[in-house]
Amino acid sequence: MVRGFYTLGSGILTQSRILSGVSNNLANVDTPGYKKKEVSTSTFGDILISRVDSKITPIGTLGAISTADKTNVIHSEGTLKTTDRTLDFAVQGEGFFGVQSQNGLVYTRDGSFSVDNEGYLTLNNVGRVVGQNGAIKVGTDNFTADSQGNITVNGNKVGTIAVYNFADYNNLKITQAGMYTAAGGATLMQNPSLLWKSLEGSNVDSAEEMTDALAAQRNLQSCSQAVKMYDQVLQKAVTDIGKL
Amino acid sequence: MITAFYTAATGAVQLQKGLDVTANNVANVSSTGYKASQSTFADLVYTNIDAPQGSNSDLKSGHGVKLDKTSTLLSQGGLEQTGRSLDYAVTADNGFFAVQKGNTVEFTKNGDFHLSTVDGKNYLSTSDGGLVLDSKGQPITAVNEQDNLDVGVYTFSNCDALERVGDTSFTATDGSGAAQAVTSPEIKKGWLEGSNVNMADEMVSVMELQRAFQMNSKIIQISDEISQNINSLR
d(CA A13, CA B32): 56
Based on the fold, state whether residues B152 and B217 are members of the same structural domain. Answer: no
Percentage of residues of chain B with pLDDT beyond 90:
54
Based on the fold, state whether residues B150 and B85 are members of the same structural domain. Answer: yes
Based on the fold, state whether residues B111 and B48 are members of the same structural domain. Answer: no
Residue A128: exposure state from Cβ atoms within 10 A (0-12, 13-18, ≥19): buried
The amino acid sitting at A196 is: W
Query: DSSP string covering B5-44, please?
Result: HHHHHHHHHHHHHHHHHHHHHHHTTT-TT---EEEEEEE-
pLDDT, one tens digit per residue, over B106-127 is: 999 998 998 888 888 888 999 8
Determine contact: A170 vs chain B, CB below 8 A.
Answer: no
Query: DSSP string covering A54-66, please?
Result: SSEEEEEEEE--E
Based on the fold, state whether residues B93 and B184 are members of the same structural domain. Answer: yes
Residue A219: exposure state from Cβ atoms within 10 A (0-12, 13-18, ≥19): middle
The amino acid sitting at B41 is: F
Closest by CA position to B135, among listed B184, B178, B193: B184
* Mean predicted confidence (pLDDT) in B198-218: 94
Cα R_g (chain A), whole angstroms: 26
Tell me the range of A68-72, A180-184, A240-244, B192-196 where mean pLDDT is highest.
B192-196
Contact state of A115 with B40 under an 8 Å Cβ cutoff: no
A71 vs B contacts (CB less than 8 Å): 49, 58-61
Closest by CA position to A163, among listed A203, A136, A126, A201: A136
* Mean predicted confidence (pLDDT) in B64-76: 91
Based on the fold, state whether residues B130 and B106 are members of the same structural domain. Answer: yes
Asked if pLDDT for residue A115 goes beyond 60, the answer is yes
pLDDT of residue B50: 83
Task: Label residue A31 by pLDDT band (50, 70, 90).
Answer: very high
Please check whether residue A239 is in contact with residue A34, taking contact to mean a CB–CB distance below 8 angstroms.
no
Please check whether residue A202 is in contact with residue A29, taking contact to mean a CB–CB distance below 8 angstroms.
yes
d(CA B114, CA B128): 10
pLDDT of residue B42: 93
Q: How far is CA A53 from each of CA A50, A57, A86, B159, rounded to the nearest angstrom?
A: 10, 8, 78, 83
Sign of the C-alpha dihedral computed for residues B131, B133, B138 and B142 taken in this order: negative
Please give the residue that has the higher pLDDT: either A95 or B142: A95
Based on the fold, state whether residues B219 and B117 are members of the same structural domain. Answer: no
A83 vs B contacts (CB less than 8 Å): 38, 73
Determine contact: A86 vs chain B, CB below 8 A.
Answer: yes
Determine contact: A228 vs chain B, CB below 8 A.
Answer: yes
| DSSP code of residue A17 | H
Range of the domain at B180: 79-193
Please give the residue that has the higher pLDDT: either B178 or B145: B178
Q: How far is A50 from chain B (nearest CA, A)?
A: 31
Query: DSSP string covering A127-139, please?
Result: EEEEEBTEE-B--
Task: Label residue A88 by pLDDT band (50, 70, 90).
Answer: very high
**Average confidence score pLDDT of chain A:** 89
pLDDT, one tens digit per residue, over B3-50 is: 899 999 999 999 999 999 999 999 999 999 999 999 999 999 898 888
Please check whether residue A156 is in contact with residue A144, taking contact to mean a CB–CB distance below 8 angstroms.
no
d(CA B15, CA B88): 37
The amino acid sitting at A212 is: D
pLDDT of residue A60: 82
pLDDT of residue A64: 74
Based on the fold, state whether residues B85 and B189 are members of the same structural domain. Answer: yes
Burial B30-44 (b: 16+ CB within 10 A, else e): ebbbbbbbbbbbbbb
Residues comprising chain A, all counted: 244
pLDDT of residue A171: 83
Please check whether residue B64 is in contact with residue B7, taking contact to mean a CB–CB distance below 8 angstroms.
yes
Based on the fold, state whether residues B113 and B187 are members of the same structural domain. Answer: yes
Asked if pLDDT for residue A244 goes beyond 70, the answer is no
Q: What is the pTM of this model?
A: 0.87
Spatial neighbors of B20 by CB under 8 A, at least 6 apart, are none
Q: Could you tell me which residues are beta bridge partners of residue A165?
A: A187
Q: Which of A44-48, A238-242, B69-73, B159-163 has the lowest mean pLDDT?
A: A44-48
Percentage of residues of chain B with pLDDT beyond 70:
100
Determine contact: A12 vs chain B, CB below 8 A.
Answer: yes
Percentage of residues of chain A with pLDDT beyond 70:
99
Task: Label residue A68 by pLDDT band (50, 70, 90).
Answer: confident
Q: How far is CA B98 from each of CA A60, A95, B87, rounded to the nearest angstrom?
A: 83, 43, 15
A199 vs B contacts (CB less than 8 Å): 40
Based on the fold, state whether residues B150 and B69 are members of the same structural domain. Answer: no
Q: How far is B64 from chain A (nearest CA, A)?
A: 5
Based on the fold, state whether residues B183 and B217 are members of the same structural domain. Answer: no
Contact state of A19 with B223 under an 8 Å Cβ cutoff: yes
Determine contact: A29 vs chain B, CB below 8 A.
Answer: yes
Determine contact: A106 vs chain B, CB below 8 A.
Answer: no
Sign of the C-alpha dihedral computed for residues B25, B28, B29 and B33 taken in this order: negative
Task: Label residue A1 by pLDDT band (50, 70, 90).
Answer: low
Contact state of B71 with A177 under an 8 Å Cβ cutoff: no
Residue B96 exposure: Cα atoms within 13 Å on the Cβ side: 27
Asked if pLDDT for residue B1 goes beyond 60, the answer is no
Q: How far is A57 from chain B (nearest CA, A)?
A: 35
Q: How far is CA A194 from each of CA A78, A91, A104, A180, A198, rounded to the nearest angstrom?
A: 14, 5, 24, 19, 9
The amino acid sitting at B194 is: G
Closest by CA position to A81, among listed A53, A112, A107: A112
Q: How far is A108 from chain B (nearest CA, A)?
A: 11
Asked if pLDDT for residue B82 goes beyond 70, the answer is yes
How many structural domains are present in chain B?
2
- By Cβ distance, the residue of B8, B41, B58 closest to A23 is B8
Q: How far is A173 from chain B (nearest CA, A)?
A: 7
Task: Label residue A28 by pLDDT band (50, 70, 90).
Answer: very high
Based on the fold, state whether residues B184 and B207 are members of the same structural domain. Answer: no
d(CA A205, CA A207): 6
Based on the fold, state whether residues B88 and B167 are members of the same structural domain. Answer: yes
Asked if pLDDT for residue B206 goes beyond 90, the answer is yes
Centre a 10 Å sphere on the Cβ of residue B13 and count the other Cβ atoms it contains. 16
**How much of chain B is helix, strand and coil, in % rounded to 5?**
25, 30, 40
B216 vs A contacts (CB less than 8 Å): 23, 26-27
CA A120 to chain centre: 29
Sign of the C-alpha dihedral computed for residues A192, A197, A202 and A205 taken in this order: negative
